[in-house]
Amino acid sequence: MDKLVIEGGRRLSGEVRISGAKNSALPIMAATLLTDQPCTIHNVPKLRDTLTMIKLLESLGKVTRYEKGKLVVLGKGPIKDTAPYDLVSTMRGSFCVLGPLLGKLRRARVSLPGGCVIGIRPVDLHVKGLKALGAEMTTDAGYIVAKAKRLRGARIYLGGVFGSSVLATANVMMAAVLANGETIIESAACEPEIEDLGNFLVRMGAHVIGHGTPRIIIRGVKELLGADHSIIADRIEAGTFILMSVATRSDLTIRDAYHGHLLSLIDVLESIGVRFEYTDDVIRVINRRTITPASINTYPYPGFPTDLQAQFMALMATTPGVSVITDRVYPDRFMHIAELDRMGANIRREGLHAIVQGVKTLHGAPVMASDLRASAALVIAGLTAKGLTEIHRIYHLERGYEDLEKKLLNIGAKISRKKV
């Protein structure tokens, strides 16, 4: 097992190129189950999660070739209907094979993904949406079992207690494209990753409109074809590098990133003194040495992303004044507070809220990553801290950040990987 060692207190400079979006790649990879024809997907990041999805596709009967971001998915005969526990349990995103398996085969048996350290994330909206399409949904020995003689279009409301669900929206979309009649999904997730999935389905021959808005309309077709598609840039990776730039009071150029996907983050940062310049696919961060505190609430897109909450907290930890950070998407997503406090931060939790009293500086310390985005927050903290920070359990980072160590070295960070 490896750890990252960061010597903090150095400004960053230069430019970084953003990889393809993990949260877009996973459902698009799953959507290849809807066709027997070849599909080619470009800009697929090399991550633990995408490699796990490749293994899952192969276990279901697909043949894959993956090299330098290009994934080719081929059929070699009938696909299987069971997504096993040993793969689905390692990554919640793999649960998105449920919809395409049901759409293609009219049956599916997919392991329940379970909870995680950022809180239990139930599958009730997935079940609700697929039931509305005519599926019989049961559980059996830790698996969701879905069966349908035929799927029929329906009007489905997918709003939940904490807003819309990206994975549930993806699963219902992928089942509905091969259903009879018209499906209307109300309170659909609006994330760019859902729009990207919709664009891929359209390239496969599906009739989908409204993807990327709260109402998606799908008219079912009899079959889908192969398609060629390029994954959008990862807005969360781009946002993480923006926050690294601001936290280290550095100017940084971020390429292959679309500022329109990050308006909520950019709006907050501009309000506290950060300047930006951008073109269609480049964001330039122009820092002032002094910024002011800010309070945020996370919401589903286009609100402030819960996936940037931990990284934003690491920035506020060294911003003079008091900030209040509220997570209304995953209220238990505060495992990083204890580790930031180990580094000298002054943060306390009160229910949905984290109260951050900015300190002058953080101090390097051994810390433990609890999840993907908490890991990124600890990297930001380590970049700003005095002394050495050791981050353990960095396999979390490898789930969602392609070549992070290399990218940081290229922009001036002093970072190394060592065996534990």
CA dihedral (61, 66, 70, 76) in degrees, to 10, reads -30
Which pairing describes strands 252-255 and 15-17: parallel, antiparallel, or unpaired?
parallel
Instruction: Choose, from 39, 96, 116, 190, the residue flagged as catalytic.
Output: 116
* Residue 417 CB contacts under 8 Å (≥ 6 apart), including other chains: 2, 3, 4, 5, 394, 405
The whole-angstrom separation of Cα 6 and Cα 380 is 10
229: which strand partners?
41
* Residue 291 CB contacts under 8 Å (≥ 6 apart), including other chains: 246, 272, 273, 274, 319
243: its two tokens: 């926050």
Check if 190 is active-site.
no
Query: In this structure, how many other beta carbons lie within 10 angstroms of the beta carbon of residue 204?
Result: 22
Contact (Cβ atoms closer than 8 angstroms) between residue 316 and residue 309: no
- Among 83, 194, 81, 171, CA closest to 125: 171
Instruction: Tell me the helices (H) and strands (E) count for the chain, helix number first.
Output: 13, 24
Contact (Cβ atoms closer than 8 angstroms) between residue 12 and residue 382: no
The whole-angstrom separation of Cα 162 and Cα 182 is 27
Which positions are catalytic?
A: 116
